[in-house]
Structure 1
């Protein structure tokens, strides 16, 4: 799991001493504030900024921007001021969106203006310059997006179903053998699937070097891009400090992170290219892009190789980790809500029966399983703030002025906690998505916001939904998840708590996992034999 993988990742304190640069920083902020103020007076044309906390001179709302529990704190702001809140942090305008409707209007309907990303010094320093998740809107981003789409649009995703189903059965077997390692097995199962699709690499059951490289790489991402964690994001000039200077300790950390991020990107790709050159590579994203590039000029081939390298790594890094967290959240929910498992099995027993495993063909006949998947995505926010967008031009919304260059944050945590849409949001309740035994289209589908908005929507969302369905259906059909027991035999219910980071994961928790009956254990082994 990511918390384990990140334990070996170099860390740095976010409270870095920068007193040496105090005067320089003050001048920088003051001039930035003055320039922005003059520009905004000309552009606003009498329109007010959206409401928000009262700013202080020079530093604006810097002290109002939370450094922990940002989803909760920003929700408190939008509850107080409305669906759109304005902050000016050290001259940087920020727009906090507190409702799905506001995010849909700006980030989706006006995506031409809101598809950019803020410049990030950490993107370069920490070795993530290649990931299109953080790339500015432009040709390199569009090219990688186009390539990812061809492999993960709805029709393309169907070709991966046999692999997803086979990996789900292998996952069940590992849960029978090593139930205490279920959090790790969730991660390993997804890694195995994605590595096969991206690189044609079949990973080892344990201690696979490529899985380890990806896990460690994603862990550095999760630490590097927490808003406010690194002052160099606010003051890019800090990246020029020599390593011995007070306030530059972060440079040693990010140098190590850069090597980790590049190894994650490069190691499996180079392995695949070696096999491809020998004619021994399995078909994959990497080989398909390279095959399509044959016949081009040498310079074009070199560019295609870079694109193939980046896109193959992005297929894992851009989406799989969020799905991993959602499946781990599902296990936490089942340990807390055994009645949900009981209802799911009534449906599974009626549709699937005791003599086979669930398949994708059963999907339309299993609305309660689909509802569990939706509730797993809603119940605990995996990416609480999404990835912030940036406005390319001045804009007006509901009579308010939004400046060019604003950081726009869609607070997905708040969307998932909207009591008008999801009554009693802290309770795991799949039935909120059902009506008369079918999925109720009148209830807001969390898929509409958990995967992002507009041109920045996650390209792997259809693959993620399919993976989530087959994992949940397979587990509930064959296994029982219970609370762990203490030394006196008393149940210990897990605490529904998430880690803090760009991607959040369930805090490690114990639970009991076993086959529903000996017959279902036999069914798992039979299913594995059939898939080999």
Structure 2
């Protein structure tokens, strides 16, 4: 290169470095978003609300006249986005830097949960797993699993006819059947299914590990290198036991499915389709490691992911108990579409806009995940003149976005018609409802399967049952007590009600289903 060329190159890089440096200086001088006053060291530790934090966050947003607030808890920066516009701007449009996940050494490294892309940080491996998942669970591809969903819904009818003492268990059994059959093509037992038991044993430790401050290694990551035989390293020995349970959860159903494939008795499922693609050899993401990990992510959903489906089903039943007139309108729609003496199926979906609108309104009215799952910012950023520190946990106030009266007039009322017909209002309501499933590159990849599972279950139930309040031994109505334990998901505790066959013909239809299962 000539001397003038070298000089030009030096000047170019000098200019770039100057601009970058100047921007960093300017950004570092920006103030943080508004929020409650912080105490030294502990920040807003004592300000964090213990009940309904989404409501408190919204009140702070109104108090400070902002759609973004900042909290600090013992040095951890927390950003809360209170509006759809703020969440869309950052979590959607800037998703390349807002798609991180907090990495817990105890969970990801020591317990071996780095296979699960739900807990995986954003990067190349995550992208491969996500793409593999999307290949099979996008709106079009997910329809291939409707036979499994329909069969699980029909089995649910039989269980509700014979036993309504534990509604939540019945719903969870249905969700578990769908996931196991979709992921591995395996059938479940009516009671004490070994695969569901394996999933429960594998996932249960997450509840303990996810409690902030439960393990010092999450605060001091270097502790993960401490030998397990040292005094005080009991966490490593415990992690090893939990790791074995997680590996069993990932390996057992996968190896069973492979064995069925070799015997020629494998049922259509995610793993079978993926393994067949390996032989085609056209796409490197189809390898056994990726397939096993993504299937394991699906499988742990029997306990974790199915909570969304179970919660939606539970809130739907509660809605019909609280608003029986809505149930009657849905049943009238079903009767007008489904041929007498037949049970509904997915072919009837397009002819039942009211039921679909009811489910969407339940999503909005009873927000299962009011704060979603936190993202982690991977680079320093700026929004509306505020500095957002790298490493911040970014939380979206989904509850307020689905209660926003500018999009959903009279948000406290149950109005399914918000999602019916055409026009800008309906389009805005539909568009904003997507926040229920998350944002950007972290949006729930199984949302289409989850929605269709809820739809087929509800249309099946309401075609043959009236959902009514339970009565005691004296014939007095038992008003359902609806309680939700503190959690990331607002899922009601078990409650009582009755599933009463609409007629003798309906009961006979349910019993006839047994022969087809």
TM tier, smaller: 0.7 to 0.9
Match of 2:19 in 1: none
Q: CA deviation at 1:232?
A: 4.7
* 1:85 paired residue among 55, 60, 69: 69
Q: Is the Cα contact below 8 Å between 2:485 and 2:493 reproduced in 1?
A: yes
TM-score w.r.t. the length of structure 2 is: 0.85
Q: Where in structure 1 are there 5+ consecutive unaligned residues?
A: 1-38
Q: CA deviation at 1:444?
A: 4.4
Q: Confirm or deny that 1:482 pairs with 2:468.
A: yes
Q: Could you say what the CA RMSD is over the residues aligned between the two structures, in angstroms? A: 3.3
The number of aligned residues is 491
Q: Confirm or deny that 1:117 pairs with 2:67.
A: no
- After superposition, give the CA deviation of every residue in 1:295-330 in whole Å (9 maximum; x if it has no partner): 87xxx9999222111111222435433122211221
* 1:511 paired residue among 494, 497, 501: 497
Match of 1:358 in 2: 344
What secondary structure sits across from 1:506 in the alignment? coil
What secondary structure sits across from 2:33 in the alignment? coil
Q: Confirm or deny that 1:457 pairs with 2:440.
A: no
Q: Is the Cα contact below 8 Å between 1:119 and 1:136 reproduced in 2?
A: yes
What secondary structure sits across from 1:315 in the alignment? helix
Structure 1 CA distance for aligned equivalents of residues 55 and 245 of structure 2: 32
* Deviating more after overlay: 134-143 vs 266-275: 266-275
Match of 2:114 in 1: 129
Match of 1:12 in 2: none
Bigger radius of gyration, 1 or 2? 2
Task: Check 1:364–1:206 CA distance in 2 against 1; reply closer, same or farther (3 A cut).
Answer: same
Match of 2:173 in 1: 188
Q: Confirm or deny that 1:64 pairs with 2:50.
A: no
Q: Is the Cα contact below 8 Å between 1:374 and 1:445 reproduced in 2?
A: no
Q: CA deviation at 1:341?
A: 0.9
Match of 2:30 in 1: 47
* 1:314 paired residue among 297, 302, 308: 297
TM-score w.r.t. the length of structure 1 is: 0.83
Task: Check 1:240–1:453 CA distance in 2 against 1; reply closer, same or farther (3 A cut).
Answer: same
Task: Check 1:76–1:237 CA distance in 2 against 1; reply closer, same or farther (3 A cut).
Answer: farther
Match of 1:417 in 2: 403
What secondary structure sits across from 1:514 in the alignment? strand
Q: CA deviation at 1:506?
A: 1.2
Q: Is the Cα contact below 8 Å between 2:138 and 2:445 reproduced in 1?
A: yes
Task: Check 1:303–1:173 CA distance in 2 against 1; reply closer, same or farther (3 A cut).
Answer: closer
Structure 1 CA distance for aligned equivalents of residues 157 and 135 of structure 2: 30
Q: Is the Cα contact below 8 Å between 1:336 and 1:483 reproduced in 2?
A: no
Match of 2:257 in 1: 272
Structure 2 CA distance for aligned equivalents of residues 92 and 126 of structure 1: 24
Q: Is the Cα contact below 8 Å between 1:126 and 1:258 reproduced in 2?
A: yes
Q: Is the Cα contact below 8 Å between 1:327 and 1:376 reproduced in 2?
A: no
Structure 1 CA distance for aligned equivalents of residues 469 and 423 of structure 2: 28
Q: Is the Cα contact below 8 Å between 1:332 and 1:506 reproduced in 2?
A: no
Task: Check 1:385–1:243 CA distance in 2 against 1; reply closer, same or farther (3 A cut).
Answer: farther
Q: Is the Cα contact below 8 Å between 1:392 and 1:405 reproduced in 2?
A: yes
Structure 1 CA distance for aligned equivalents of residues 503 and 52 of structure 2: 42
* Deviating more after overlay: 383-392 vs 449-458: 383-392
* 1:177 paired residue among 130, 148, 162: 162
Q: Is the Cα contact below 8 Å between 2:183 and 2:269 reproduced in 1?
A: yes
Match of 2:478 in 1: 492
Q: CA deviation at 1:456?
A: 1.1
Give runs of aligned pairs for residues 106-505 of structure 1, distance below 5 A: 106-124=90-108, 125-226=110-211, 232-236=217-221, 254-294=239-279, 304-317=287-300, 319-423=305-409, 425-434=411-420, 440-444=426-430, 447-505=433-491
- After superposition, give the CA deviation of every residue in 1:507-529 in whole Å (9 maximum; x if it has no partner): 11111112111111122234554
Task: Check 1:43–1:392 CA distance in 2 against 1; reply closer, same or farther (3 A cut).
Answer: farther
What secondary structure sits across from 1:64 in the alignment? coil
Q: CA deviation at 1:201?
A: 0.7
Structure 2 CA distance for aligned equivalents of residues 83 and 233 of structure 1: 31
Q: Is the Cα contact below 8 Å between 2:132 and 2:285 reproduced in 1?
A: no
What secondary structure sits across from 2:103 in the alignment? coil
Structure 1 CA distance for aligned equivalents of residues 316 and 503 of structure 2: 21
Task: Check 1:281–1:219 CA distance in 2 against 1; reply closer, same or farther (3 A cut).
Answer: same
Q: CA deviation at 1:127?
A: 3.8
Structure 2 CA distance for aligned equivalents of residues 279 and 402 of structure 1: 55
Q: Is the Cα contact below 8 Å between 1:389 and 1:407 reproduced in 2?
A: yes
Q: Is the Cα contact below 8 Å between 1:498 and 1:506 reproduced in 2?
A: yes
Task: Check 1:364–1:508 CA distance in 2 against 1; reply closer, same or farther (3 A cut).
Answer: same
Q: Is the Cα contact below 8 Å between 1:335 and 1:493 reproduced in 2?
A: no
